[in-house]
Amino acid sequence: MDYTIYHNNRCRKSREALQYLTENNIPHKIVHYLETPLNAEELKAILNALGHRADQLLRKQEAIWKSEYKHRTLDEDALIQAMVDHPKLIERPIVSSGKKAVVARPIEKLHQFLK
């Protein structure tokens, strides 16, 4: 089975997940989502695979969230659009395979997902 990791190289947890996949010879594709942002449909598919609502995938401690969105009431589509417009708001790392995905932090969640 092939996996996709939505990766941010600046994130220690993301680097840790990528290292685990690589060291264990788990076939994977890397998507650098900050450099190649996801569109709304891709993000909706990931949310569906995770079984999450958009607000569960948001990094609410990011400055852009606090300055632009925190005090607004946003529906699901608006939250997804915020993550499309500002990929930094997406929790990481996400590892997916087919119709299943996991936010792989802590690394134990990735271990469970791969079993």
Assess whether 11 carries a catalytic annotation: yes
100: its two tokens? 């299943």
- Return the bridge partners of 97, or none: 100
4, 11, 81, 107: the catalytic one is 11
For Cα atoms 34, 76, 108, give the angle at the middle one, nearest 5 degrees.
55
Report the catalytic residues: 11
